[in-house]
A and B are shown apart, each in its own frame.
Chain A
Amino acid sequence: GQNIDQPTEMTATEGAIVQINCTYQTSGFNGLFWYQQHAGEAPTFLSYNVLDGLEEKGRFSSFLSRSKGYSYLLLKELQMKDSASYLCAVTADDYKLSFGAGTTVTVRA
């Protein structure tokens, strides 16, 4: 199976930057995903990385280092609506997504 670790909680101020780290150990690797989940709602797709490097999408960026088994999600210019859980997920040889427990980000005014 996959072992995926990410911090449980993070707090940041509106307008600031927050970086959510994710480390993983997996048998085979076919990509890393980040999902956002607001309380009581369904997870929604944010980003996908399969090659090393940074993928940027507006205020959100995701980085991957395959050799280190490491990724981070960077949230810039934080807004109150960014308060949510952020889920790191990896796909192994079977292409099924395995999720970490999620990081709850709280944005303060």
Chain B
Amino acid sequence: IAGITQAPTSQILAAGRRMTLRCTQDMRHNAMYWYRQDLGLGLRLIHYSNTAGTTGKGEVPDGYSVSRANTDDFPLTLASAVPSQTSVYFCASSDSTGGANVLTFGAGSRLTVL
């Protein structure tokens, strides 16, 4: 089934630990994104990549890093997790970076940092 796969679905993590959230798409979309969703705040963009080999910072990039070695994969790394990073993380992709930039979202990864 074409779409976006995120892993893990859910994770509980001790503060200070390193964590990588995985995201893979099979739609050959050029652009990929990471958002976090918190109650009352909506979806906020963390990092994005317009094409393989390039990345950019979104609205809330601090404490997170990404890489885009190929078209399909876009992992998000928390180098040293803190409780404020407890959230639901959504990976998304689109085949355009302009105009009607319709995003396809993964099912989300729920992360709890204790």
Contact = CB atoms under 8 A, between A and B. Distances in A.
A and B physically associate: yes
A95 B99 contact: yes
B74 interface: no
Interface stretch (B20-28, B36-44, B62-70, B75-83): B36-44
Main secondary structure of the interface of B (DSSP, over half): loop
Contacts of B101: 31, 91, 95, 97
Contacts, number: 56
Contacts of B33: 96-97
A41 to B, nearest CB: 7
Interface of B: 33, 35, 40-45, 48, 58-59, 90, 97-108
Interface of A: 1, 4, 30-31, 33, 35, 41-45, 48, 50, 87, 89, 91, 95-102
